[in-house]
Structure 1
Amino acid sequence: MAIQWKGVMPAVTTKFTDDDKLDLKNFEVNIQAQLEAGVSGIILGGTLGEASTLTDDEKGELVRATVDMVKKEVPVIINIAEQTTRKAIETAHKAEKDGAEGLMVLPPMRYKATDRETVAYFSEIAKNTSLPIMIYNNPVDYKIEVTLDMFEELLKLNNIRAVKESTRDVANVTRLINRFGERLKILCGVDPLAFESLLAGADGWVAGLVDAFPRETVAIYKLAKAGRIGEALEIYRWFNPLLDLDLSPQLVQNIKLAEVATGIGTENVRAPRLPLVGEERQRVLQVIEDSLKTRPALPDYKNL
């Protein structure tokens, strides 16, 4: 399936059983909710997917299970976050064999690579896979920025197609469009900046709170792209306190609590993460509870 690199692509959470195994039953409940809402792809093994805690075998199992669940309705994309170029290439090969149809690739982990090293890292991965690639550009969390000049080099490789734009500088959407036009698809990767990014011309949204609120997320995207800005903005303003939960170091715990509240997930996380407790837990639960009380009715966004 050719990936269009547009629309809403949830960075899904990984579900765990009480005894810390993959919980594919509850995982499928969430995947089906995403498909019913009208998402454009499923992204596995990102930060929200607790990728750093998953074994290689678990990642493979997740890819194969998700491919089976979506039944070609949308593409399945797996995140690559590795410390060495060799391991990243091995991971890409395995993902392709397991049925993934695209890759989201972070820069080298732990080592703060130079611009030249970062370009070489992404380039070697791209040269060693036939899968299309979305570069994850998040200098706030990963301390490496992929600049426009670096993208100029990377886009010489045909299978580098998109960027998950998480610089938190909305103006960067315009800079990328001015420089690369349609050659580079842009997906916002920061929930509280998604509406602004879409209006600036972003093609899609790699979303987090979509894991708990898939219909509202897709509705905002569809309405914004259809020019029904006022309707999209009304939902987005309601959504904003929830979207801010994506900016916390405990974003996984936050979003999993929201999934529990909407009936499409569980709270289980994998150590060293622990479920929220005390005042912080009550604060997050209050945000979720307040939002559910005023949850908006949605228009027939699917037919836009």
Structure 2
Amino acid sequence: MSWLTGYIPDLPTPFDEDGEIDLKAFAKLCECQIAAGVSAIVVGETTGEASTLTPAEHCTIVHAAVETARGRVRVIAGAGSNSTSQAIELTRRAVAAGADAILSVVPYYNKPMQAGMVRHFQAIAGSTDLPIILHDIPARTVRELADDTLVQLAQSRQFIGLRDGSGDIARPLRLRALLPSGFRLLSGDDATALSYLVHGGDGCISSVSNIAPLLCRAIFSSCQQGRLPAARYLQSRLAPLTAVLAKESPAALKYALCLLGFMHPNTRLPIVELSPAAKAEVASVIAGIDDEDLACRSDGWREPYLSRARS
């Protein structure tokens, strides 16, 4: 699983002014990340407002990512649900659309027992030959994926990694000796990602990487080389952006990408656009980041939204 390392962006799903998926904008987001040298992209998951997508729309964005990537990066398709049968259906659709791997979240709202989680994920694995990355995010699911449960599931080679949204930076230290050598532990929290890496993590499935993929890549590289002061310095440059994006996700991310000329800031209910004050805060943070640290399209061209943020 050498490709499942570093900062991997969790892409938002762009919507046009009519509320439909903006596939042209989505392709630009994909190309930006490919140009930045990422190994994989995540689509149709938390940042992608997956809960508001119909099964057909979910299939559409996975297919669009696969068509844009053309094998240059791996496409990880979010396919989670609190219904096992629906998660299986989304998984099968993602397989048909050409995804390279599945990202499957702990069932939310239902509050299943650990034994129920095991059977849920095993049923999903039985529906596909694709590798599966587990997603533990207790703030959204209420029930956590316990360490013992993760170790049990990881005995199957089909489960290749964990997106860890628990914020527990010591988890890699506890788990590394208990997991197969190829199993990847990735932070799901930008704010604590560097600490997670220092404690033995393999990367981060990231929101902030949508805005500053090269800076994120530099943080990971510095950490791998043992250059921790450099990694901490780079992380400090990202801290204001990380904080402002976390306040209202994914609306803040979408507005930031709008300022950079990538997409409309439109969201779907129950998520709404930012308030004027929140927009001003995002614009101020974006304006304070050096141009070379910001996302740009593969041809290096930007529309003049950024100049508006700095005016």
Do the two structures share a fold, i.e. TM-score over 0.5? Answer: yes
State the match for 2:125 in structure 1. Answer: 126
Q: Aligned with 1:76: secondary structure?
A: strand
More displaced, 206-215 or 280-289? 280-289
The one-letter code of the counterpart of 1:136 is H
Match of 1:288 among 286, 289, 301: 286
Give yes or no for the alignment of 1:237 onto 2:233: no
TM-fit CA distance, 1:223: 2.2
TM-fit CA distance, 1:17: 0.7
TM-fit CA distance, 1:184: 2.2
Q: Report Cα offsets for 1:248-267 as digits up to 9, x if no partner.
A: 3x211111122123333331
CA separation in 1, counterparts of 2:271 and 2:25?
Answer: 19
TM-fit CA distance, 1:106: 0.6
Give the aligned CA root-mean-square deviation in angstroms.
1.8
Match of 2:258 among 235, 249, 260: 260
Q: For the Cα contact (< 8 Å) 1:43–1:78, is it kept in 2?
A: yes
TM-fit CA distance, 1:181: 5.2
Change (3 A) 1:39 1:297: closer
State the match for 1:81 in structure 2. Answer: 80
Change (3 A) 1:234 1:42: same
Q: How does 1:1-304 map to 2 (within 5 A)?
A: 4-180=3-179, 182-248=181-247, 250-289=248-287, 291-292=288-289, 294=290
TM-fit CA distance, 1:81: 2.1
Q: Report Cα offsets for 1:86-115 as digits up to 9, x if no partner.
A: 111121111111101101101223211011
CA separation in 2, counterparts of 1:28 and 1:221?
Answer: 25
TM-fit CA distance, 1:278: 3.3
Q: Report Cα offsets for 1:108-137 as digits up to 9, x if no partner.
A: 232110111111111111122101011001
CA separation in 2, counterparts of 1:256 and 1:36?
Answer: 20
Which consecutive unaligned segments of at least 5 residues does structure 2 have? 295-311
CA separation in 2, counterparts of 1:111 and 1:63?
Answer: 27
What count of residue pairs does the alignment treat as equivalent? 294
Percent identical residues: 28
State the match for 1:302 in structure 2. Answer: none
TM-score by length of structure 1 reads 0.91
Runs of 4+ in 1 over 4 A off after TM superposition: 294-298
Q: For the Cα contact (< 8 Å) 1:3–1:75, is it kept in 2?
A: no
CA separation in 2, counterparts of 1:269 and 1:230?
Answer: 38
